[in-house]
Amino acid sequence: MGKGRSFEVRRRSNQEKEIGVETINENSAMYLIAHIGHTQNNDEHICWWRPESKGYTICIDKAGRYSEDEAQRICVTGTCVAVPVAIAEELARSTPYYRRSDGTLAKLYDGDNHRPVPNDRRAWDILLGRRLGGCARPEKPTPIGAKARAIYLPSNFKG
Protein backbone atom coordinates (compact mmCIF):
# COMPACT_ATOMS: atom_id res chain seq x y z
CA MET A 1 0.00 0.00 0.00
CA GLY A 2 1.34 3.45 -0.99
CA LYS A 3 1.84 6.37 1.31
CA GLY A 4 -1.11 8.67 1.87
CA ARG A 5 -0.72 12.32 1.06
CA SER A 6 -2.52 15.01 3.02
CA PHE A 7 -3.58 18.38 1.77
CA GLU A 8 -5.34 21.31 3.37
CA VAL A 9 -6.69 24.58 2.08
CA ARG A 10 -8.11 27.14 4.47
CA ARG A 11 -11.15 29.33 4.00
CA ARG A 12 -10.43 32.79 2.60
CA SER A 13 -13.88 34.33 3.14
CA ASN A 14 -17.23 33.38 4.63
CA GLN A 15 -18.68 32.85 1.14
CA GLU A 16 -16.11 30.25 0.18
CA LYS A 17 -16.45 26.64 1.25
CA GLU A 18 -13.60 25.37 3.39
CA ILE A 19 -11.60 22.60 1.84
CA GLY A 20 -10.90 20.21 4.66
CA VAL A 21 -8.03 17.89 5.32
CA GLU A 22 -8.27 14.75 3.25
CA THR A 23 -5.92 11.85 2.70
CA ILE A 24 -5.40 10.48 -0.78
CA ASN A 25 -3.88 7.07 -1.39
CA GLU A 26 -1.40 7.91 -4.13
CA ASN A 27 -1.87 4.50 -5.77
CA SER A 28 -5.59 5.01 -6.33
CA ALA A 29 -5.77 8.80 -6.77
CA MET A 30 -7.34 10.13 -9.95
CA TYR A 31 -6.35 13.45 -11.46
CA LEU A 32 -7.87 16.16 -13.61
CA ILE A 33 -5.65 17.97 -16.08
CA ALA A 34 -5.91 21.77 -16.07
CA HIS A 35 -4.70 23.33 -19.31
CA ILE A 36 -2.86 26.58 -18.68
CA GLY A 37 -2.34 27.20 -22.40
CA HIS A 38 -6.08 27.13 -23.14
CA THR A 39 -7.03 29.22 -20.09
CA GLN A 40 -6.27 32.84 -20.96
CA ASN A 41 -6.82 36.06 -19.04
CA ASN A 42 -10.12 36.65 -20.84
CA ASP A 43 -11.52 33.23 -19.83
CA GLU A 44 -13.78 33.16 -16.78
CA HIS A 45 -13.12 29.50 -15.99
CA ILE A 46 -10.25 27.05 -16.06
CA CYS A 47 -10.07 24.70 -19.03
CA TRP A 48 -9.81 20.94 -18.30
CA TRP A 49 -8.89 17.99 -20.53
CA ARG A 50 -11.88 15.83 -21.51
CA PRO A 51 -11.79 12.00 -21.19
CA GLU A 52 -9.30 10.15 -23.39
CA SER A 53 -7.53 13.46 -24.16
CA LYS A 54 -10.30 14.37 -26.61
CA GLY A 55 -10.87 18.08 -26.31
CA TYR A 56 -11.46 20.49 -23.46
CA THR A 57 -14.25 21.54 -21.10
CA ILE A 58 -14.82 24.07 -18.33
CA CYS A 59 -16.97 21.59 -16.37
CA ILE A 60 -15.14 19.33 -13.93
CA ASP A 61 -17.92 16.74 -14.22
CA LYS A 62 -17.20 16.42 -17.95
CA ALA A 63 -13.42 16.40 -17.50
CA GLY A 64 -11.40 13.23 -17.86
CA ARG A 65 -10.13 11.30 -14.86
CA TYR A 66 -6.54 10.22 -15.30
CA SER A 67 -4.34 7.86 -13.29
CA GLU A 68 -1.07 9.15 -11.88
CA ASP A 69 0.90 7.50 -14.70
CA GLU A 70 -1.38 8.92 -17.40
CA ALA A 71 -1.27 12.39 -15.83
CA GLN A 72 2.54 12.38 -15.68
CA ARG A 73 2.73 11.36 -19.36
CA ILE A 74 0.35 14.19 -20.32
CA CYS A 75 2.03 16.86 -18.21
CA VAL A 76 5.47 16.64 -19.84
CA THR A 77 5.29 20.31 -20.86
CA GLY A 78 4.44 23.28 -18.70
CA THR A 79 1.09 23.91 -20.40
CA CYS A 80 -0.78 21.42 -18.19
CA VAL A 81 -1.00 20.58 -14.50
CA ALA A 82 -2.51 17.46 -12.95
CA VAL A 83 -4.43 17.92 -9.70
CA PRO A 84 -6.36 15.47 -7.53
CA VAL A 85 -10.05 15.32 -8.42
CA ALA A 86 -10.98 16.18 -4.82
CA ILE A 87 -9.15 19.53 -5.03
CA ALA A 88 -10.94 20.54 -8.25
CA GLU A 89 -14.30 19.42 -6.84
CA GLU A 90 -13.86 21.62 -3.77
CA LEU A 91 -12.94 24.64 -5.91
CA ALA A 92 -15.81 24.14 -8.38
CA ARG A 93 -18.74 26.54 -8.32
CA SER A 94 -22.36 26.20 -9.38
CA THR A 95 -23.54 26.90 -12.93
CA PRO A 96 -22.46 30.48 -13.73
CA TYR A 97 -24.94 33.15 -14.80
CA TYR A 98 -24.52 36.71 -16.01
CA ARG A 99 -26.74 39.78 -15.75
CA ARG A 100 -28.35 40.88 -19.02
CA SER A 101 -28.83 44.55 -19.83
CA ASP A 102 -32.50 44.24 -18.81
CA GLY A 103 -31.46 43.03 -15.34
CA THR A 104 -32.45 39.37 -15.77
CA LEU A 105 -30.03 36.50 -15.36
CA ALA A 106 -29.01 34.07 -18.09
CA LYS A 107 -26.65 31.09 -18.09
CA LEU A 108 -23.12 32.07 -19.04
CA TYR A 109 -22.80 28.82 -21.05
CA ASP A 110 -25.34 26.99 -23.19
CA GLY A 111 -26.52 23.47 -22.42
CA ASP A 112 -26.62 21.55 -19.18
CA ASN A 113 -25.52 22.74 -15.81
CA HIS A 114 -21.77 23.12 -15.39
CA ARG A 115 -19.44 23.05 -12.38
CA PRO A 116 -16.48 25.22 -13.41
CA VAL A 117 -13.49 26.35 -11.41
CA PRO A 118 -13.05 30.14 -11.63
CA ASN A 119 -9.95 31.35 -13.46
CA ASP A 120 -8.76 33.43 -10.54
CA ARG A 121 -5.55 33.79 -8.59
CA ARG A 122 -6.88 31.91 -5.55
CA ALA A 123 -7.84 28.84 -7.59
CA TRP A 124 -4.52 28.81 -9.46
CA ASP A 125 -2.55 29.17 -6.21
CA ILE A 126 -4.33 26.11 -4.82
CA LEU A 127 -4.08 24.07 -8.04
CA LEU A 128 -0.38 24.80 -8.51
CA GLY A 129 0.31 24.13 -4.84
CA ARG A 130 -1.40 20.74 -5.03
CA ARG A 131 -0.28 19.61 -8.48
CA LEU A 132 1.12 16.16 -9.12
CA GLY A 133 4.86 15.96 -8.59
CA GLY A 134 7.17 14.69 -11.28
CA CYS A 135 5.62 16.78 -14.03
CA ALA A 136 7.22 19.65 -15.92
CA ARG A 137 7.37 23.02 -14.22
CA PRO A 138 4.12 24.76 -15.18
CA GLU A 139 3.89 27.96 -17.14
CA LYS A 140 2.50 30.96 -15.33
CA PRO A 141 -1.33 30.99 -15.48
CA THR A 142 -3.20 34.14 -16.49
CA PRO A 143 -6.20 34.68 -14.18
CA ILE A 144 -9.05 36.86 -15.41
CA GLY A 145 -8.88 39.27 -12.48
CA ALA A 146 -11.57 41.89 -11.93
CA LYS A 147 -13.13 41.43 -15.40
CA ALA A 148 -15.07 38.31 -14.35
CA ARG A 149 -18.83 38.66 -14.74
CA ALA A 150 -20.00 35.23 -13.54
CA ILE A 151 -22.69 35.12 -10.88
CA TYR A 152 -22.99 31.89 -8.88
CA LEU A 153 -26.37 31.04 -7.37
CA PRO A 154 -26.82 28.63 -4.46
CA SER A 155 -27.48 25.08 -5.67
CA ASN A 156 -30.91 25.11 -4.01
CA PHE A 157 -31.96 28.37 -5.73
CA LYS A 158 -35.32 28.17 -7.53
CA GLY A 159 -35.45 31.06 -10.00
The answer to whether residue 106 is domain-embedded is no
Contact 67, 53 (CB under 8 A): no
The answer to whether residue 90 is domain-embedded is yes
* Full domain range(s) for residue 61: 4-95+116-147
Total number of domains constituting the chain: 1
If one compares 36 and 147, the residue with the highest pLDDT of the two is: 36
- Residue 156, Ramachandran bin (φ over 0: left; ψ between -120 and 50: alpha; else beta): alpha
How far apart, in whole angstroms, are the C-alpha atoms of residue 19 and residue 119? 18
The answer to whether residue 155 is domain-embedded is no
If one compares 41 and 8, the residue with the highest pLDDT of the two is: 41
Strand 56-57 with 48-49, pairing: antiparallel
The answer to whether residue 153 is domain-embedded is no
What percentage of the chain carries pLDDT values higher than 70? 77
The reported pTM is 0.73
How far apart, in whole angstroms, are the C-alpha atoms of residue 33 and residue 48? 6
The answer to whether residue 59 is domain-embedded is yes
The answer to whether residue 101 is domain-embedded is no
The answer to whether residue 103 is domain-embedded is no
**Three-state secondary structure call for residue 59:** strand
The answer to whether residue 122 is domain-embedded is yes
If one compares 22 and 119, the residue with the highest pLDDT of the two is: 119
- List the strands of the sheet with 105-107, edge to edge: 105-107, 96-99, 151-152
